[in-house]
Amino acid sequence: MTTKPRIAILTGYGINSDIELAHSFNLAGGNAERVHLHDAIDGSVKLEDFAILAVPGGFSFGDHIASGRVFANRLRYKLGDTLLRLREKKTPIIGICNGFQVLVKLGLLPGTEPASFTQTCTLTYNDSGRFENRWCYLKTDANVSSVWLKGLSQIYLPVRHGEGKFIPGNPELLKELEANGQTCLRYCNADGSEPAGFPANPNGSTGHIAGLCSKDGLVFGLMPHPEAHVLPTQHPQWQRDGQKAEGDGLQIFRNAIEYVS
């Protein structure tokens, strides 16, 4: 009997999408465990014992200072050595919404080689000046090499955030990320033929970027919520358009499970 890979779902201090994320990984064939950040810090749970690490969405530490900043600092100064070991071991890591903000402000995305905690980009307030809660079409870049997005060209996922606007540190960095295939997910129009402005791009993100991956494709962060579209009935038009076999987000989690298996 094959043992299901263990996935650590970090939670606590305002994270609120951990149960949905754990359910999604379990549907994809994993064994997800919700791990409170405090338990990881005090060593009662060892993150090195897991095959995948996930940072869910929510409002960690009430979004004080900036979304994801305090959680990122806790990870860096309390679990920094552990995270660097996970990168050395090539452990897949995903951050969704607030988790994406955490990984960017931690410096694991878009990342450096060797891995370090150097922040080069940010995610900041939406151009609309308000919280955006809507569904968006997304397409993967042609040269993307992330294991998380294998076999996916266009997907439809919900967003719900107030600080999702991606801004690179400088234009040269953006060109480098695009050349490396790290700007792996972008907001687009309904048929995926081209990027589109608001509301298709809900936050004004530079280059319509909705997600980033590390150069090796193992660390992946995105503002949309794939865990909120793993079942066909979660699609807002499922009664009009008919049910699909599964929600668009499920393949993202299945890809990671297959990789570590």
Q: Is 246 a catalytic residue?
A: no
Tokens, residue 155: 């997907």
Q: Is 227 a catalytic residue?
A: yes
Among 97, 121, 184, 213, the one annotated catalytic = 97
Tokens, residue 137: 């079409």
Among 208, 227, 229, 235, the one annotated catalytic = 227
For residue 156, the SS3 value is strand
Which residues have CB under 8 Å from 165's CB, separation 6+? Answer: 123, 124, 125, 126, 127, 203, 204, 205, 206
DSSP string for 100-134: HHHHHHHT-SS--SS------EEEE--TTSS-EEE
Helix 98-106 with 69-88: angle, nearest 10 deg: 70
Q: What are phi and psi for residue 9, nearest 5 degrees? A: -105, 105
Q: Is 184 a catalytic residue?
A: no
Among 161, 184, 188, 225, the one annotated catalytic = 225
Residue given tokens 């919520």 in the structure block: 225
Pick left, alpha or beta for residue 233 (phi over 0 → left; psi -120 to 50 → alpha; otherwise beta). alpha
Cis ω for the linkage preceding 199 (within 30 of 0): yes
Closest to 50 in 3D by CA, of 59, 39, 61, 64: 39
Catalytic residue positions, numbered: 97, 225, 227
